[in-house]
A and B are shown apart, each in its own frame.
Chain A
Amino acid sequence: MTDLNWDAEFTDHFTRSARSMRFTAYLLCGNWSEAEDVVQAAFLKLYLAGPRVARREGLDAYLRRIVVRTFITERRRVRWRRERLVEEPPELPEAGPSSEVRIVLWQALGSVPPRQRAVLVLRYWHDLTLEGTAAVLGCSVGTVKSQGNRGLAALRRRLGPGFDELRMEVHRGAGG
């Protein structure tokens, strides 16, 4: 395949999947600007990898793997820098019927370590199997299980016992 063909195929794939990939990155990062940086880096890696490497596992799967790994790498780097500059305060989901629960949960998700958060996003947003999640993260199935359990435990710890009551109240309010 020539460079021109690959450019055309890449552009076509970008048009189809850029927004959904950026949303995945948003779930991982928690803010749009960082998500955009991660996705841009991921698409650049995809372009440089070329069609042969990218098609080995499918463009979407390959791109998702790059997004997740770029996010984890960036977070590791940020941790070493010990500071993180953001333009705006953390973004919150739009208001809705049960927005309070979502806001609390979304904020709690920000405290989950990157690798565990990646497992939660891949398992509960992309509905990947344990094996699929392990392939994306480049680890064993056992690691995915333990990371997922730890992520959920961290979330519950962060939310505290009052979260279930809050959810019940919200549901009651929406219903009544």
Chain B
Amino acid sequence: MREDDLRDVFGALHAANDPDLGFGATDVVRAGHRVRRRRRTAAAVGSGLATVAAAVVAVVLLPAERAPAPADPADVVLTTTSTAPPPAVEPVPSSPAPAIGVPGTGSVRDGFPAVENSPDGTPPPGASENPPRADPH
């Protein structure tokens, strides 16, 4: 058998009458549209399912990860101390009252005897915040 024998057979077959085609271009185009439509539908369904699956996973897993751990009771009670300066007491504006008193014994304002402090802020000896009350007996 030679290679030319093959060419001869192929040529003879080509020269012979071949049957008509059983399909046309429109059949192929129509089938192509059908396949494309099916692929689009499959892609849409697939992406929808993937979205639903992702949502389900998120709902199931994420709350468990984000749940706060139960708080332990604290052993030490912490207190806080304010470092802010105490509110300043604003002086009550008042009209100067006529001084009533005897010079040298302290001034008396509004009928109360004024307590003079020493220059270092300590009360003078003998002066106390709670003056001795008179013994009722």
Residues of A within 8 A of B (CB): 7, 10-11, 14-15, 18-19, 22-23, 26-27, 32, 36, 40, 43-44, 47-48, 93-94, 96, 98, 101-102, 105-106, 109, 120-121, 124-125, 152, 155-156, 159, 163-164, 167
Pairwise interchain contact B1-A22, C-beta atoms closer than 8 A:
no
A44-B31, A44-B32, A125-B10 are contacts. A163–B18 as well, Cβ < 8 Å?
no
Type the 1/0 row for B25-66, where 1 means its CB is closer than 8 Å to any CB of A: 111110110011000000000000000000000000000000
Option from B10, B14, B32 in Cβ contact (under 8 Å) with A48: B32
Residues of B within 8 A of A (CB): 1, 3, 5-10, 12-14, 16-19, 21-29, 31-32, 35-36
Neighbouring B residues of A96 by C-beta, 8 Å: 12
Chain A contact residues: helix, strand, loop or mixed: helix
Nearest-CB distance from B121 to chain A (Å)?
97
A101-B5, A106-B9 are contacts. A94–B16 as well, Cβ < 8 Å?
yes
Option from A27, A36, A47, A124 in Cβ contact (under 8 Å) with B13: A27
Neighbouring B residues of A155 by C-beta, 8 Å: 1, 6
Pairwise interchain contact B1-A105, C-beta atoms closer than 8 A:
yes
Pairwise interchain contact B23-A22, C-beta atoms closer than 8 A:
no
Nearest-CB distance from B10 to chain A (Å)?
4
Pairwise interchain contact B18-A47, C-beta atoms closer than 8 A:
no
Nearest-CB distance from B98 to chain A (Å)?
107
Nearest-CB distance from B110 to chain A (Å)?
103
Assuming A14-B25, A105-B6, what are 19 further A-B pairs, CB within 8 angstroms? A7-B29, A14-B24, A18-B21, A18-B25, A19-B18, A40-B23, A44-B32, A44-B35, A47-B32, A94-B16, A94-B17, A96-B12, A98-B8, A102-B9, A106-B13, A120-B6, A124-B10, A125-B7, A125-B10
Pairwise interchain contact B16-A93, C-beta atoms closer than 8 A:
yes
Q: Complex formed: what's the CA distance from A40 to B32 in Å? A: 11
A10-B29, A93-B13 are contacts. A36–B23 as well, Cβ < 8 Å?
yes
Neighbouring A residues of B25 by C-beta, 8 Å: 10-11, 14-15, 18, 43
Neighbouring B residues of A19 by C-beta, 8 Å: 18, 21
Shortest Cβ distance from B24 into A: residue: A14
7 contacts between A and B (CB under 8 A): A10-B28, A14-B28, A23-B14, A36-B23, A43-B28, A124-B7, A152-B1
Q: Complex formed: what's the CA distance from A139 to B29 in Å? A: 31
Pairwise interchain contact B5-A167, C-beta atoms closer than 8 A:
yes
Most buried by B among A40, A96, A120, A124: A124
Q: Complex formed: what's the CA distance from A105 to B1 in Å? A: 9
